[in-house]
Amino acid sequence: MKSLVDTGALFPALVVGRLLLALTNASDVLKHNHQLSTPLTSYLNLQEGIYLFKNGIDPYSGGVFRQSPLFLALFTTVLPTSRIACSLIWTISDAIGAWALVQLWRARQRVAQTSRDGLIAAAYLLNPYLFLPTLALSTSTFENTLALLSLLFAARGHASPSLLAAAILLQLSLSSVVLLAPLVLLLASSPVSQLASPRAFSGNVKIIIPLLVEFLVYTSVLTLVSALVSGGWAWIPQTWGAILTLPDLTPNVGLWWYFFTEMFDHFRPFFLMVFSIHLLIYIAPVCIKFQYDYLYAAFILLGVLGTFKSYPTMADPGLFLSMIALFPEIYPYLRYPIVTTLLHLHAALLMPLFHHLWLNQGTGNANFFYASTLVFACANGAALTDCVWAGLRIAIGPPQEGFSVVQE
Amino acid sequence: MLVSFVHLLLLFSWSWRTLASHEQLVGDFFSKSTSNHTNNWAVLVCSSRYWFNYRHMANALGMYRTVKRLGIPDSNIILMLADDAACNSRNKFPGSVYANPGRGLDLYGDNIEVDYRGYEVTVENFIRVLTGRMEPSVPRSKRLLTDANSNVFVYMTGHGGNEFLKFQDNEEISAFDIADAFEQMWQKKRYNEIFFMIDTCQANTMYTKFYSPNILATGSAKLDQNSYSYENDNDLGVHIIDRYTHYVLEYMERINKTSHQTMRDLFDSYDPVKISSDPGVRADLFRRPLDEVLITDFFGGVAQVEVQESTTPFSGADGPESVPAADTRPRVAATAFTTETGVQDESWRTMRTWGGVVLLGALVGWVGSRTV
């Protein structure tokens, strides 16, 4: 129990620092930023939806509110809606996420405490890809926290909390269904690092079906609760449907919006299907290949999600990058970490610049910003492929004199 | 069965009565004045070009400014000008058009919207504008998009004669053409009432051939009479406005959007001595008496508005808590948010949200207790 709260001095200091940062009015400026929040995660839309709901208008009857009815329920009853209170809530959510990451690290190492805990917490709390969306009050913070909590509970072997967190995460974001498979398989196996010694899946196969059934039960209960709160089923096409049909083409850091602005209507259903199935096709290969280390498979699939999601914010690839801290065994085998870092620096500096040039100043056009999001996707893809390579390469062993590793 | 039939009958009669009372309410609203137009349009045509016809440009621009000032937006004004006065190389004050000798008011400015300029001001385009028979490619700003409730003010100025008006020095439109165009508009329900004003030599002959209903016409000079210009400006070197239009505009300067001055007052203000010609009025086709026709019925974009007390739930900035207790009932019964069921809906909604939160908390608690 002591290990649950004892995280060294760095973690509380970082949390206090983040809380102080939350008390500033940075959110007033950042909440409008398109890179930090999307129509599905924006705080402004959340406020609008809550106001409409409080005044008896169905917030799902127009295209303004695309978040889960659970938010409506929580923010109109128990949670406060003032700016400072919301900033604190979001920062506390980030703190919980950082705590979950540290506990995940400890579970993977199978120790109660390490000297590196503070660094892991810092990797989450100081990552600008993560703290800027939190300051912007984007609900992707909650998605990250729930993802980390569900992975943590799975690593500890607690099935029900893990599946409940995953079910709540599914209510917030339909794309997270991609994480279901590695999560269930992680529950059936162990989180301990097996990357260096690949073997066939050796977990408990029999509990997979009961776990899936439990997940479905939680999901249906939460869906019914959402329908109760929202007074109908109109929220489904507006929230989950929005992820599949992309009705809102507001620019974001993802790859979908530009593609679909120039798409002829005739081809739209086809390409929506292609893009959605593209997310799903990574599940099976990654889970099969990393069947000895499902935490790593979940990590890779989080990276896939961060790069190819329909409405990503910076927080989605940010989670992937912070989670690299959990796998120091792959660091010697990363082939081009400096290139990836520079690509990320390049993209992270140019994206806001080109966005401003296009939409505020009017001297650029959409192609500037889209090019910078392509660089961002390149950076994410580079990180992803490098991590996949390193995860596989570690199994071959350290480099030896006179031998070279070649991919056939 | 009988009971339900009676209920149905009651419901039917109630709805019929409320529908009838709606008609009554709407009818009352529109019968506040004798005019039943809902929108205003203006077609202002200056049919001359070249520097020495500066005054015709100023005539049309003066009317344009008046009409805009009194509320007709640019989207409802078709302005046809040769537009070669302001940027003419002989204009000592480039980019401006003045209508009074002291050059006090620049009519050209930087905020005018000329829809047909230069060589586009032709008889064909004018008739196409009136009748609406255009190529599909003609943009909206060049179309007269009137309907059966539109009051249209048509003003023409230039060089004219007995039943004709000269367009751009190479063609002419006759009184018959305009009369036929107006009849086409009447057949196609493109106007409610037309007010036709023309300032040329022998102007009154131009409206003698009208035969469609609801047209009120006035002109600056009668048959065999010239219309004269007002004054010369010594620096510009040309006459800058015509007498008739000058005195009409002078009268209009005293009108604003809320004036109740009528057409009778305008026509009574005509002074043939000052104007140096005999202006005329033709009102036989017009169904309303002239002392009931407001000037703003044609010159302004005044619409009938009735301001109600707020009856929607959004009346307060803070939400439902600040809805005033003395909430006035909606004037017309068929509004979407009636206050009776609003309270019921709100309590049901609160129950739903709390129910959802409680269920969510119960689920989390149950899962938590199972684990620990």
**What is the chain A residue with the closest CA to B313?**
A55
Whether A73 and B371 lie within 8 Å, measured CB to CB? no
Cross-chain CB nearest to B371 (options A72, A158, A226): A158
**Cα(A281)–Cα(B323) distance, rounded to whole angstroms?**
54
Counted residue by residue, chain A has a size of: 408
Verify that B125 and B96 share a domain, yes or no.
Answer: yes
On average, the pLDDT of chain A sits at: 91
Contact residues for B8 (Cβ-Cβ < 8 A; gap 6+)? none
Q: What percent of chain B is predicted at pLDDT more than 90? A: 61
Q: How far is the alpha carbon of A52 from chain B, nearest alpha carbon, in Å? A: 9
Verify that B259 and B349 share a domain, yes or no.
Answer: no
- CB neighbours of residue B229 within 10 Å: 21
Q: How far is the alpha carbon of A269 from chain B, nearest alpha carbon, in Å? A: 32
| Digit-coded pLDDT (tens) for A73-92 | 999 888 888 889 999 999 99
Sequence-ordered strand ranges (E) for A327-379: none
Q: Assess B364–A contact: CB distance below 8 Å, yes or no.
A: yes
Which residues 41-60 of A are in CB contact (within 8 Å) with B?
Answer: 51, 53-56
Cross-chain CB nearest to A164 (options B349, B357, B363): B363
Q: How far is the alpha carbon of A280 from chain B, nearest alpha carbon, in Å? A: 29
Verify that B11 and B116 share a domain, yes or no.
Answer: no
Whether A56 and B346 lie within 8 Å, measured CB to CB? yes
Q: What tokens were used for B85?
A: 């006065």
Verify that B7 and B57 share a domain, yes or no.
Answer: no
pLDDT of residue B4: 59
| Digit-coded pLDDT (tens) for A174-189 | 999 999 999 999 999 8
Q: Which amino acid type is present at position B131? A: T
Residue B19 backbone phi and psi in degrees, to 5: -65, -45
Q: What tokens were used for B275?
A: 């104007």
Q: Which amino acid type is present at position A124? A: Y
**In chain A, what residues touch B367 (CB-CB under 8 Å)?**
160-161, 164
**Cα(B82)–Cα(A245) distance, rounded to whole angstroms?**
52
Q: Assess A225–B contact: CB distance below 8 Å, yes or no.
A: yes
Q: Assess A82–B contact: CB distance below 8 Å, yes or no.
A: no
Residue B199 backbone phi and psi in degrees, to 5: -125, 90
Nearest to B33 by CA among B329, B353, B300: B300
Q: What tokens were used for A280?
A: 């799903």
C-alpha distances in Å from residue A308, one per residue of A246, A313, B67: 13, 11, 57
Residue with tokens 């165009």: B181
**Cα(A245)–Cα(A357) distance, rounded to whole angstroms?**
29
Q: Assess A367–B contact: CB distance below 8 Å, yes or no.
A: no
Give the angle A291-A296-A297 at the CA atoms, nearest 5°.
Answer: 55
Over range B103-125, report the average pLDDT: 90
Q: Is residue B294 part of a domain?
A: yes
Q: Assess B360–A contact: CB distance below 8 Å, yes or no.
A: yes
Q: What tokens were used for B247?
A: 């005195």
Q: How far is the alpha carbon of B275 from chain A, nearest alpha carbon, in Å? A: 54
Verify that B19 and B71 share a domain, yes or no.
Answer: no
**Cα(A384)–Cα(A337) distance, rounded to whole angstroms?**
11
Verify that B9 and B150 share a domain, yes or no.
Answer: no
Q: What tokens were used for A163?
A: 């599946």
**Cα(B244)–Cα(B202) distance, rounded to whole angstroms?**
12
Q: What does the H/E/C string look like for A255-307?
A: CHHHHHHCCCHHHHHHHHHHHHHHHHCCHHHHHHHCCCCHHHHHHHHHHHHHH
Verify that B185 and B136 share a domain, yes or no.
Answer: yes
**What is the chain B residue with the closest CA to A228?**
B352
Q: Is residue B336 part of a domain?
A: no
Nearest to B188 by CA among B133, B151, B142, B135: B133
Verify that B83 and B216 share a domain, yes or no.
Answer: yes
Between strands B215-219 and B193-199, the pairing is parallel
Catalytic status, residue B56 = no
Q: Assess A161–B contact: CB distance below 8 Å, yes or no.
A: yes
**Cα(A106)–Cα(A152) distance, rounded to whole angstroms?**
10
Dihedral (CA of A180, A99, A73, A54) sign: negative
**In chain B, what residues touch A222 (CB-CB under 8 Å)?**
360, 363
Question: Which three-class secondary structure state does DSSP give residue B152?
Answer: strand
Q: What tokens were used for A404?
A: 């070279």
In which domain, by residue range, is B367 found? 2-31+341-371
Q: Assess A282–B contact: CB distance below 8 Å, yes or no.
A: no
Interface with A, mutate which of B357, B364, B366, B372 (most A CBs under 10 A): B357
Counted residue by residue, chain B has a size of: 372
Indicate the helix (H) or strand (E) that contains A381.
Answer: helix A366-393
Whether B359 and A160 lie within 8 Å, measured CB to CB? no
Q: Assess A4–B contact: CB distance below 8 Å, yes or no.
A: no
- CB neighbours of residue A362 within 10 Å: 8
pLDDT of residue B316: 44
Question: Which three-class secondary structure state does DSSP give residue B326?
Answer: coil
Verify that B190 and B51 share a domain, yes or no.
Answer: yes
Verify that B72 and B206 share a domain, yes or no.
Answer: yes
Interface with B, mutate which of A229, A230, A233 (most B CBs under 10 A): A229
**Cα(A49)–Cα(A230) distance, rounded to whole angstroms?**
11
Catalytic status, residue B201 = yes
Over range B158-169, report the average pLDDT: 92
**In chain B, what residues touch A218 (CB-CB under 8 Å)?**
363
Does residue A56 contact residue B342 with C-beta atoms inside 8 Å? Answer: yes
pLDDT of residue B14: 62
Q: Is the pLDDT of residue A393 over 50?
A: yes
Whether A161 and B368 lie within 8 Å, measured CB to CB? yes
**Cα(B257)–Cα(A364) distance, rounded to whole angstroms?**
44
Does residue A215 contact residue A167 with C-beta atoms inside 8 Å? Answer: yes
Scanning chain B, the segments in alpha helix (DSSP H) are: 2-30, 54-69, 123-131, 175-187, 243-252, 263-268, 272-275, 296-299, 339-371
* Contacts A–B by Cβ distance under 8 A: 60
Cross-chain CB nearest to B363 (options A74, A221, A231): A221
**Cα(A20)–Cα(A14) distance, rounded to whole angstroms?**
10
Residue with tokens 């073997």: A199
Q: How far is the alpha carbon of B51 from chain A, nearest alpha carbon, in Å? A: 41
Q: What tokens were used for B166?
A: 């000269």
Q: Is the pLDDT of residue A170 over 80?
A: yes
| Digit-coded pLDDT (tens) for B179-235 | 999 999 999 999 999 999 999 999 999 999 999 999 999 999 999 999 999 988 888
| Digit-coded pLDDT (tens) for B84-105 | 999 899 999 998 999 888 888 8
Does residue A226 contact residue A54 with C-beta atoms inside 8 Å? Answer: no
| Digit-coded pLDDT (tens) for A224-283 | 999 999 988 999 999 999 999 999 999 999 999 999 999 999 999 999 999 999 999 999
Contact residues for B85 (Cβ-Cβ < 8 A; gap 6+)? B51, B54, B57, B58, B91, B97
**In chain B, what residues touch A161 (CB-CB under 8 Å)?**
367-368, 371
Over range A29-53, report the average pLDDT: 92
Verify that B154 and B67 share a domain, yes or no.
Answer: yes
Q: Which residue has the higher pLDDT, B31 or B87?
A: B87
**Cα(B131)–Cα(B188) distance, rounded to whole angstroms?**
8
Confidence band for B303, pLDDT divided at 50, 70 and 90: low
Whether A228 and B352 lie within 8 Å, measured CB to CB? yes
Over range A309-335, report the average pLDDT: 94
On average, the pLDDT of chain B sits at: 85
Q: Assess B363–A contact: CB distance below 8 Å, yes or no.
A: yes
Question: Which three-class secondary structure state does DSSP give residue A129?
Answer: helix
Of B244, B276, B299, the residue that ends a domain is B299
**Cα(B195)–Cα(A138) distance, rounded to whole angstroms?**
59
Residue with tokens 């790069």: A307
Nearest to A142 by CA among A79, A192, A54: A79
Does residue B220 contact residue B81 with C-beta atoms inside 8 Å? Answer: no
Whether A70 and B354 lie within 8 Å, measured CB to CB? no
Verify that B198 and B256 share a domain, yes or no.
Answer: yes
pTM: 0.63
Whether B320 and A231 lie within 8 Å, measured CB to CB? no
Cα–chain center distance at A324: 13
Residue A115 backbone phi and psi in degrees, to 5: -80, -10
Residue with tokens 């909206």: B140
Q: Is residue B335 part of a domain?
A: no
**Cα(B130)–Cα(B178) distance, rounded to whole angstroms?**
9
Q: Is the pLDDT of residue B270 over 90?
A: yes
pLDDT of residue B253: 92
Q: How far is the alpha carbon of A381 from chain B, nearest alpha carbon, in Å? A: 36
Contact residues for B124 (Cβ-Cβ < 8 A; gap 6+)? none
Q: What percent of chain A is predicted at pLDDT more than 70? A: 98
Q: How far apart are the first and last CA of chain A?
A: 48
Q: Assess B338–A contact: CB distance below 8 Å, yes or no.
A: no
pLDDT of residue B12: 62
Scanning A24-82, the segments in alpha helix (DSSP H) are: 26-30, 43-54, 69-77
Count of H-run helices and E-run strands, chain B = 9, 12
Q: Is the pLDDT of residue B2 over 70?
A: no
pLDDT of residue A196: 77
Whether A228 and B355 lie within 8 Å, measured CB to CB? yes
Tally the domains of chain B: 2
pLDDT of residue B7: 63
Cross-chain CB nearest to B353 (options A76, A158, A161): A76
Q: Assess A146–B contact: CB distance below 8 Å, yes or no.
A: no
Whether A53 and B349 lie within 8 Å, measured CB to CB? yes
Question: Which three-class secondary structure state does DSSP give residue B168?
Answer: coil
| Digit-coded pLDDT (tens) for B315-337 | 444 444 444 444 444 344 334 44
Interface with B, mutate which of A1, A50, A53, A54 (most B CBs under 10 A): A54
- Please pick, among B159, B239, B246, B260, the residue that the annotation labels catalytic: B159
Cross-chain CB nearest to A225 (options B342, B359, B368): B359
pLDDT of residue A407: 77
**In chain A, what residues touch B346 (CB-CB under 8 Å)?**
56
Give the angle A193-A122-A341 at the CA atoms, nearest 5°.
Answer: 80
The mean-pLDDT minimum among A5-19, A117-131, B52-66, B121-135 falls in A5-19
Confidence band for A4, pLDDT divided at 50, 70 and 90: low
**In chain A, what residues touch B362 (CB-CB under 8 Å)?**
none
Cross-chain CB nearest to B367 (options A73, A164, A228): A164
Q: Assess B16–A contact: CB distance below 8 Å, yes or no.
A: no
| Digit-coded pLDDT (tens) for B336-371 | 444 556 778 888 889 999 999 999 999 999 999 987
Over range B51-55, report the average pLDDT: 92
- Please pick, among B201, B239, B246, B260, the residue that the annotation labels catalytic: B201
Cα–chain center distance at B7: 48
Q: Assess B353–A contact: CB distance below 8 Å, yes or no.
A: yes
**Cα(A294)–Cα(A286) distance, rounded to whole angstroms?**
9
pLDDT of residue A79: 87
